[in-house]
Amino acid sequence: MKQEKLMDNEEKFHSGFIALVGRPNVGKSTLLNTVLGEKISIVSAHAQTTRNKITGVWNGENSQIVFLDTPGMHKPKSKLGEVIRQSTVDAIGEVDIVVMLCACDDPPGAGDRYLLSLLENKKTPVVLVLNKIDLVSEVAILKKIKQYSQMYNFKEIIPVSAQTGRNMDELMQVLEKMLPEGPKYFPDDMITDQPERIIVQEIVREKILLRTHEEIPHAIGVFTEEFKVRENGKVYIRCTIYVERESQKRIVIGSKGSLLKDAGKEAREEIQKVVGSPVFLDLWVKVNRDWKNKDYMLRELGYKEHK
């Protein structure tokens, strides 16, 4: 009888939703991509690159984790900024576990304290992940652990390097043990619930961000106007890249169209891996002044309004 009960326990499935939160550029998107073994979340050196809550699905032997990769917490300066901030706040209230990422090479900031204030009265367990341990000494890591443990009662504190993969297995083991019993929300072969159109937009925006200066990142919005499989099997994709000023348009296009051409080539190669077919990528740049404060533009670009 005892043996039958033990077998029943072993067969129980565990699942849950986990929000990845933190300041901009602490490595949330890199961590998610490393966990999944495939790239689904935008990564760049610029702050505020993730704008939508990207859902990534990780499958264990008898478990499933659904990750929400939230935008970096920041002070809103536009309607877009407020929508982005609210998406992080909403995610915290929707999940079973919160994973808060901080960078080992950066001291605690106002964004960290604000996030912790949002978590203060929640019953949701919070795991602190100290990322980028490959950039600091062991002594510095121990100092960071002590520093953050005095700021909040974390369920666990785990130092990792999302870039190199160090301690990532340990992190996943900890998260897996914390999962409640639950159903399998997604099939095994599904790693994200994001529509291909949204993934295309994120890839195109990333390739432009990697090639532009500081004034550009917050000004760019990408919208997939057309996504069509032609008779020859090639996928035709037309995207409009929105900027706020003519000067930004010139930067995005580049000298004789070089920047846009290079970004488009790299984006096309990556999109082909996602859709599994040859792709013809058609990119256009348009000026729409102050688009970040226009409700209809935010809806068109896929950002949900906060009510």
Question: Could you list the pLDDT tens digit for every one of the 307 residues in the chain?
Answer: 444 444 444 568 999 999 888 887 788 888 888 888 876 654 444 444 444 466 788 999 899 998 887 765 555 556 666 666 666 677 777 889 999 999 998 888 888 888 888 888 788 999 999 999 999 999 999 999 999 999 999 999 999 999 899 999 999 999 999 999 999 888 787 777 667 777 788 889 888 888 886 556 566 888 888 888 887 888 899 999 988 889 889 999 999 999 999 999 999 998 887 777 899 999 999 998 877 676 655 665 555 554 4
Q: Is 132 known to sit in a ligand binding site?
A: yes
Q: Is 134 known to sit in a ligand binding site?
A: yes
Q: Is 307 known to sit in a ligand binding site?
A: no
Report the pLDDT value the prediction gives residue 43, as an integer from 0 to 100.
47
Q: Is 69 known to sit in a ligand binding site?
A: yes
Q: What is the CATH number of domain 196-301?
A: 3.30.300.20
Report the pLDDT value the prediction gives residue 295, as an integer from 0 to 100.
66
Q: Is 262 known to sit in a ligand binding site?
A: no
Report the pLDDT value the prediction gives residue 107, as an integer from 0 to 100.
86
Segments of the chain assigned to CATH 3.30.300.20: 196-301
Q: Which CATH class is domain 14-178?
A: alpha beta
Q: Is 189 known to sit in a ligand binding site?
A: no
Report the pLDDT value the prediction gives residue 50, as an integer from 0 to 100.
40
Question: Which one-letter amino acid corresponds to residue 195?
Answer: P
Q: Is 71 known to sit in a ligand binding site?
A: yes
Q: Is 235 known to sit in a ligand binding site?
A: no
Q: Is 25 known to sit in a ligand binding site?
A: yes
Report the pLDDT value the prediction gives residue 114, as an integer from 0 to 100.
83
Q: Is 172 known to sit in a ligand binding site?
A: no
Cross-strand bridge partners of residue 97:
18
Cβ burial of 62 (10 Å; 0-12, 13-18, 19+) is: middle
Segments of the chain assigned to CATH 3.40.50.300: 14-178
